[in-house]
Structure 1
Amino acid sequence: MSNKLTLALLQLPVGNDVAINVRRAADSIRQLKVDNSQLQLAILPESFNAPYGQDHFPKFAEKVPEGPTCQALSQLASDLGIYIIGGSIVEREGDQLYNTCTVWAPDGTLIGKHRKIHLFTMNIEPANAGGVAFDEAAVLTAGSELTVVQIGQQKVGIGICHDKRFEELARIYRNMGCTMLVYPSAFCICQGPMHWELLQRARATDNQLFVVTCSPARDNMSGYVAYGHSMVVNPWAQVQREAGEGCEFIVEEIDFDIVEQVRRQIPIFKQRRTEVYAKARVDL
């Protein structure tokens, strides 16, 4: 049985019309499947259906899975017989809003719903002279559940953007048997050059697995400018594929045998000294 998976990253532009954004994503995935019959998984960016921003979140929020974006992704997954990691949308539940990633099986079933655990807050000074300030927590509610989905033979851990800064989350996913982590990410351009690749390679080398991120295409005229550079990092912490800044699609074959090879050759998981760490009794 093959231990390989063909996936697509869709680094898409995001405008102000949800219907157009969702249609563009669906049409692009359909064409990628036509061009690549072996395609098994499509991954969309964070906030792929509407602009990312504190002012936009309440306006574009939808119910999950009843909303139109979820219904479109469910139908698309069923029509094409593929898995879809639906980037993220703003989910409305009662009077609370969440940044939520949905995962769809080839029969259109919702198999995962990840609410962003670590809400993005930054204040890069000086904010009034070229710095940047942003606070998701002013509008959104943090999720409190980990999300592991079965895609083919592999366990895949799901995070959203800022979640990848937290090594504890990635470690738990690895301990749960994950061989790939996927982070839809509208990573800010002000942090991108410093930390985008660094964080993904760090999570990959710490846990000896694949790390995959999918960003919106960069729009320098938008209020929030995403970095782009959607990326696949392998368990050796090497960048296997990387997009540029604009609208771009990556189709890549992932060989999960590499996970076992790396873990066998550098057996850090077996070498962990948890009894020593426990003596420190540090509040993690």
Structure 2
Amino acid sequence: MTRIALLQARTGIDPDANARALVAAVEEAAAGGAAMLFTPEMSGLLDRDRTRAAANLRLPEEDPVLGAVREAAANAGLWVHLGSLAVRRGDEPRLANRAFLIDDPGAVRATYDKLHLFDVDLATGESWRESAAYAPGEAAVVAETPVGPLGLSICYDLRFPDLFRALTDAGAKVVAIPAAFTVPTGEAHWHVLMRARAIEAGVFVVAAAQAGRHEDGRETYGHSLVVGPWGDVLLDMGSEPGLAFAEIDLAEVDRVRARVPALDHRRPIPPVTRL
């Protein structure tokens, strides 16, 4: 069994304040015996005012939030999956929505840029155009961690099962899905999609989420989850910020995959005949 911690955050518009909250979470997770901490999408800055946000955006090597978390991870001897940060891409006009996997000496072991970007107009009147500010990633990633082979994804990636098939083909037994889900889509789809991805891939899903009314006016769904490979919800953090712990037993992945060996039965899909 491996103990993990999840931070459910209400990230704001001040990166320094957000960094302090993340450092405190690292310290709390380590004190609670976790081998690894998972944080939400956009853990360093959540600000839909792009003009105001621009003053706080940096290259990864210059990002103060990333630097603070790396130092805290090294001090605590704790791995951290920093769900994502908005970072600059050199002189490119669009940013990256990038996850960082940080080891216990504080080194960045892997990064992942969000592949699928959220462009939508909701019935509530909310309109989101992630592709206007962010460039999509170009690679899927699985990395070795203390919790096992970890597949990386971010938020809207949840809706694309082909990504999760690729991650399990590459050996993932745990998948991180950090998120800042809107409330309407969260209420409709969050739990069922998380459970579906866990079941069809035969993996543990770890989904650290943003929660509540943020400084920039948006509202996020919360309900950070840990879901087992049988689809059972092992942790649901509700709607308030905080830190919680869960236990992961990788042997359960092998037991479930033996019980329903769907991964072994997958075949290449032939061309579709449309009649």
Shorter chain as normaliser: what TM range?
A: over 0.9
1:26 matched to 2:44? The reply is no
Structure 1 pair 246/172, CA: closer, same or farther in 2 (3 Å)? same
Q: Partner residue of 1:106?
A: 104
Q: 1:278 aligns with which of 256, 270, 274?
A: 270
Cα distance in 1 for residues equivalent to 2:69 and 2:22:
9
Q: TM-score when scaled to structure 1?
A: 0.90
Q: 2:54 aligns with which of 35, 51, 58?
A: 58
Kindly report structure 1 stretches of 4+ aligned residues shifted beyond 6 Å: none
SS in 2 for 1:226: strand
Q: Partner residue of 1:80?
A: 76
Aligned counterparts, 1:1-284, within 5 A: 4-34=1-31, 36=32, 38-53=33-48, 55=50, 57-93=53-89, 94-95=91-92, 96-125=94-123, 130-152=124-146, 154-219=148-213, 222-274=216-268, 277-280=269-272
Count of paired positions: 271
Structure 1 pair 221/72, CA: closer, same or farther in 2 (3 Å)? closer
Q: CA deviation at 1:73?
A: 1.5
1:137-167: per-residue Cα shift (whole Å, max 9, x none)?
1111111111211102611011110011110
Structure 1 pair 62/237, CA: closer, same or farther in 2 (3 Å)? same
Cα distance in 1 for residues equivalent to 2:13 and 2:214:
15
Structure 1 pair 149/52, CA: closer, same or farther in 2 (3 Å)? farther
Q: CA deviation at 1:200?
A: 0.6
| One-letter identity of the residue aligned with 1:119 | L
Query: Which ranges in structure 2 are unaligned for 5 or more consecutive residues?
Result: none
Q: Which moved more, 1:151-160 or 1:195-204?
A: 151-160
1:207-260: per-residue Cα shift (whole Å, max 9, x none)?
111111111221167422110000001000111110111112111111111100
Q: TM-score when scaled to structure 2?
A: 0.93
1:104-160: per-residue Cα shift (whole Å, max 9, x none)?
0111111111111101111123xxxx3321110111111111121110261101111
CA RMSD of aligned residues (A): 1.8
SS in 1 for 2:60: coil
Q: CA deviation at 1:66?
A: 3.1
What's the % identity of the aligned pairs?
Answer: 27
| One-letter identity of the residue aligned with 1:164 | L
Q: 2:36, 2:146 within 8 Å by CA — same for their partners in 1? A: no
| One-letter identity of the residue aligned with 1:175 | D
SS in 1 for 2:96: strand
